[in-house]
Each structure stands twice: as structure tokens, then as C-alpha cells.
Amino acid sequence: MNWKNVLYLLRIERKSGRLIRGIKATRYKENVFIAYWPYWAALAIGVIGGYVASVAALTVYSSGSVPTGLKPLNVEALGFFSVLPTLVLGISIVFTLFQQVQVAGKPSSQVEFWLPVTWQEHTLASILANLLGWPAAVVVGLSSGVIVFSAFNGLILQALLTALIMFAAAFLASSITEILRVLQVRFTGAVYKSSGRAAIWVRFVSYILIIAIFYIIYFYVTSGFSSFITGLTAAQSAAWYIPLIWPALVISYVGKGLYLQALLFTALSALLIAGLYYLAVELNTRLGLYEPPAITVQKSGIYEPKTGFLGKLGFSTVEAALIRKDLRAFTRRRELLSIYIFPIILIIVALFGSFSGTSSSTSSSTGVAVSAGIIFLLPASVMGMLLGEILIGEEGQAIWRIYASPISPENLVKSKYFIAILFSIIILALSASIGVVFFHPSVREAIVATVEAFLMVLALSSVSLQVGFKGADFSQTRRARMIRQEWSLVGLIMCAVTGAAVFAPVIIPYGLSLLSGRSSSTLDYAVGVAISAVVSIAISAIVYRINIGSAEELLRKAET
């Protein structure tokens, strides 16, 4: 193993993920402090968190009235330390898999395939590169917190061991992701080959399912953190036969003074990590150069141009062509598929929220009403916002095709706006149906909520499209960026303000009627919705005009 090669590959891989996008810098100079900000931020949070936790613990334990059921400080602390590796493992798998999903649509440079680099070096660099993003920041944050906490409580050796094992757990997670990545490429290839045209839909559904499942796990872990930790502490001792728990068990046994068992699980963990690494190397050696076969969408010789339904809806040929192109993009481009996840997650979270709050109290009935409101309003609105923001930047490097074609600013804005509204309405239909089925609103409530959601979609799509024009990022280094981060934040604020303006005429009278104890009449709702419609249409129309100006500017300033 040439460690220098690993380091060189690692540097390139990580730097490609850090490069400033959206700026055509002819001379790029990296500021080390800014480049590594997640680690500094995690370190600062960890140190502060560790210190605060230490002060809190000392206050509780020195007060003389230690709450019943609380074990001695060192026992409680070591119990907490012992679940951290498993937690890091879970978070790292989720993060590294997300990273893989994000870069999946982008072909790798493959430079390392023809350089004198061995598969061992390549695999190790790939595992470490995956690891050195957010997972490493999580490890840095937790380690610094644990060490600072322990420095005041005489547990420094155990803390250092925990930090080391957390890093090992993150490496383990990254190795698993590397193995899954290689297998996924091979499996995908087999699916493409056998599914033919259906491969597009197989890929579409499976991606959404996989990401949705991981998001649910992630939300479950992070939303109920304390109960998750308590549950995990009890569960992992019993689940010693699961290899992924082994690193955590080392800390657990050290805490209990069972050093022989600790040594055994240290050896087993080391074997596991080495085994997974060699499995990743072996898989890369056999399958690393595998290129999935092409997806054949049409069979040859059956090309028949379609006149198209879009023309009947009043779209010109150019607009219809742009819309069809984007419809295909949002079912085929892997990096765009994640757009569907957020609305789906919102629906799931709202459903979870309502199920957990179905005990018959007033607050829980309000909670259910909030969940119902979320399910009707948020998924479609969020879809409109996200789509609007990325619809310009998603053109990527192929934006020249738009620049070079006889496409007017009106054509561009009309087609992009339509796409944002179309997808949002599909999501609205889905979320409203689920809302009706699970929350049984009255017909009046259902209609008001659906119409309000539609009005939000109209306004938010227009506003976020403006953000998409201003903050478009066409670079595709490592992965398609689509929107600059700062503009994404601006979009969030602008959409929040717009959403509030559209929804205020309905929600304010509703809130006042709740406070005064009288129920709103149909007329109240009708007036509210009418004002809301005027606000939404006015915002949409004004911003639509502004969008045409922005499109004109974009097409004119193609060079930048």
C-alpha cells in the first residue's frame, strides 16, 4: 500500500466536493479555515456542549438531591458513551449513502483507473473520502464534547477510547457504503438489462423508496433522541451477536470493568473492519470497472413524432418541447429524484405526528388539526418552492442548448412555471387525498385547505422561480448544484413571507374565531379565500413579469 497515493486521491476527492461553485474563478485559492468549516463548527459545538453538560451534571450530582433512578455519574456517562459508536455508525451510513446518491448521476473522472494506483489504495481513498464529509464532522463534534465533559469528571481515558471507537464506527459505515455502492452499480446494470424501458420507472420508484426509508430512520433517530439513546443502551448489550454493535460493546465492557470481554470485542471489531475493507477491495477489483448497460427507452425503427397534448393546452411547440424535456428530466435524472422526497417526508411526518397525538385531549386534537393543515398545505407548497429554485440551474452545462436555440424569455418562463405548478398539483392531489382519508375534515375545510394550497403553489412557484433565475448554479463539479446555497436561503425566507401573505386572510380570522370561541361561518371562509386568491394572483402575476425580465437577462448574458 502506497499511503502517499491514498493521500493524493483523498485530497482530490475531497477538494472536488469543497470547490466554490457558481463562480467562474480563473484563479482559485482555497482558504483552509473556510474550507474546513464543518469541522471547526462541530468542534466548537462539541466543546461548548461538553462543558455545558459537565456543569449541568455536576450541579445535579452535587445538589444532594439526586433524582431517583439516576445511577452514579460515571455509570450514566459510560452508558451514554457506549451508544455513541452505534449512533455514529447509523448517522454515517445515512450521510455517506446520501452523498453517493447525490453524485450517482455524475460519471466519475475514472482518472484513478488508468493511473498506477492499486485497488487497495483506490478503495481506501474512496472510503476515507466518503467519511471525511459530515460523518467526520459528527465524530469531531461528539468526540470533543465527550472529551471536554470527561475532563471535568475523571473519565478522560474512557472518553479518548470512545472517540477512537467512534472514528472506527464511521470508517465501518463508510466501508459498508462503498460495498453497497459497488453492488448497486452491478445490480442496477442487471436491472437495466432485464427491464428495458421499464428500467426508468424501476429506478424512479426504487430511488424514492430507498431515500424515503432512510429519511424516516433519520427522523426517527433525531426526533426522539433521548428515548432512542435509552432504548439503544438497553438493546445493544442484548444484541451482541450483531457485528455492527461490536465497537460500542467495547466501551460498554470497559465501563463495567470486564476487560477480557472488551478485548474480545476489540479484536472482533478490528476483524470486522478489516474484513469489510477487504470485501470492498475485492468487489472493486471484480466490479469496479463495470459500466451499466444503456437504458433503451424506445426500440429502434418505431419513431413516431407526437403532436402532443400540451399543444392543445395552448403551449407553443417550443414551450411544449421544453416541458416534455423537463418531465423526462424529473423521472430520469437521479439527482433530481430527491426533489420528491421532501413532500413525501412531510406527509409521513404529519401522519406520524397525528398518530402519536391521538389521545383525547384538547391539545392533541389541536395537534391533529395542525397535522391535517400540514398535510394539505405544506407538501405541495414545498414542492413548488423547491422546483422553482432548481428549474433553471438543473439545465447544468447543457444550458448552452437553451442559449443557442430560438427560445424566447416568455417561452422559458412559461414552460418552467408550468412544470413547477404541474408537479406541485400532483403532490397536492396526493397529500389532499391522504388528508381526507386520515383526518376526515368537513367538505368545507377540505375545499378551503385545497384551494389555499393551490394558491400557495401559484405564488411560491413564481417567487422561487425568480430565486432560481438569480441564484442559478450550472456547475456540475462532482454533482449538479442547481442553486447557490445563499440563494436557497433567500428563497426560503422569500417563500415564507409570500406563504404568510397568501395564507393570512384565512388563518387570521380562523385564529381569532378560535380565541373568541365562535366558529367561522362559510361566508368568513369565502371572504378569506377570495382575499387570499387576490393576493396570490397579484404576487404570481407581478413576479411572473419580473421572471420574464430575468429570463431575458439570462439569455442575453449567456457568457457569464
Q: Which residues make up the interface to other proteins (CB under 8 A)?
A: 26, 107, 293-301, 303-305, 307, 317-318, 320-322, 324-325, 328-329, 332-333, 396-398, 400-401, 403-408, 555-559
d(CA 388, CA 417): 7
CA dihedral (112, 114, 120, 121) positive or negative: negative
Residue type for 173, please?
Answer: A
At residue 68, the 3 state secondary structure works out as coil
Residue 317 CB contacts under 8 Å (≥ 6 apart), including other chains: 311
Q: How far is the CB of 215 from other proteins (least distance, A)?
A: 24
Q: How far is the CB of 316 from other proteins (least distance, A)?
A: 9
The torsion region of residue 301 among left (phi > 0), alpha (psi -120 to 50) and beta comes to: left
Report the residue number, 116 or 406, with the smaller CB distance to other proteins.
406
Report the residue number, 398 or 541, with the smaller CB distance to other proteins.
398
Contact 340, 207 (CB under 8 A): no
Report the residue number, 226 or 560, with the smaller CB distance to other proteins.
560
Residue 231 CB contacts under 8 Å (≥ 6 apart), including other chains: none
Q: How far is the CB of 204 from other proteins (least distance, A)?
A: 12
CA distances to 92, 393, 460, 499 from 493, rounded to whole Å, are 30, 19, 11, 10
Q: How far is the CB of 328 from other proteins (least distance, A)?
A: 6
Report the residue number, 43 or 422, with the smaller CB distance to other proteins.
422
Contact 273, 115 (CB under 8 A): no
Report the residue number, 277 or 330, with the smaller CB distance to other proteins.
330
Q: How far is the CB of 35 from other proteins (least distance, A)?
A: 24
Report the residue number, 231 or 293, with the smaller CB distance to other proteins.
293
Phi and psi (nearest 5°) for 232? Answer: -65, -40
Q: How far is the CB of 396 from other proteins (least distance, A)?
A: 8
Contact 258, 236 (CB under 8 A): no
d(CA 411, CA 427): 25
Q: How far is the CB of 307 from other proteins (least distance, A)?
A: 6
Q: How far is the CB of 304 from other proteins (least distance, A)?
A: 7
d(CA 43, CA 26): 33
Report the residue number, 112 or 395, with the smaller CB distance to other proteins.
395
Report the residue number, 14 or 106, with the smaller CB distance to other proteins.
106
d(CA 471, CA 20): 14
Q: Which cell goes with 373?
A: 393543515
* DSSP per-residue string spanning 464-533: HHHHHHHTEE---SSS--EE-HHHHHHHHHHHHHHHHHHHHHHHHHHHHHHHHT-PPPHHHHHHHHHHHH
Contact 177, 210 (CB under 8 A): no
d(CA 543, CA 464): 9
Q: How far is the CB of 469 from other proteins (least distance, A)?
A: 17
Contact 374, 350 (CB under 8 A): yes
d(CA 428, CA 41): 38
Q: How far is the CB of 415 from other proteins (least distance, A)?
A: 11
Report the residue number, 256 or 324, with the smaller CB distance to other proteins.
324
214, 461, 540: which is closest to 345 by C-alpha? 214
Q: How far is the CB of 399 from other proteins (least distance, A)?
A: 8
Report the residue number, 60 or 329, with the smaller CB distance to other proteins.
329
Report the residue number, 409 or 509, with the smaller CB distance to other proteins.
409
Q: Which cell goes with 523?
A: 361566508
Contact 491, 461 (CB under 8 A): no
Report the residue number, 241 or 303, with the smaller CB distance to other proteins.
303
Q: How far is the CB of 238 from other proteins (least distance, A)?
A: 48
Report the residue number, 4 or 306, with the smaller CB distance to other proteins.
306
DSSP code of 25? Answer: -
Residue 468 CB contacts under 8 Å (≥ 6 apart), including other chains: 388, 389, 390, 391, 392, 393, 416, 483, 491
Q: How far is the CB of 25 from other proteins (least distance, A)?
A: 11
Report the residue number, 121 or 319, with the smaller CB distance to other proteins.
319
394: Cα separation from own chain's centroid: 17
Q: How far is the CB of 197 from other proteins (least distance, A)?
A: 9
How many residues are recorded in the chain?
560
Angle between helices 199-223 and 73-104 (to 10 degrees): 160
301: Cα separation from own chain's centroid: 41
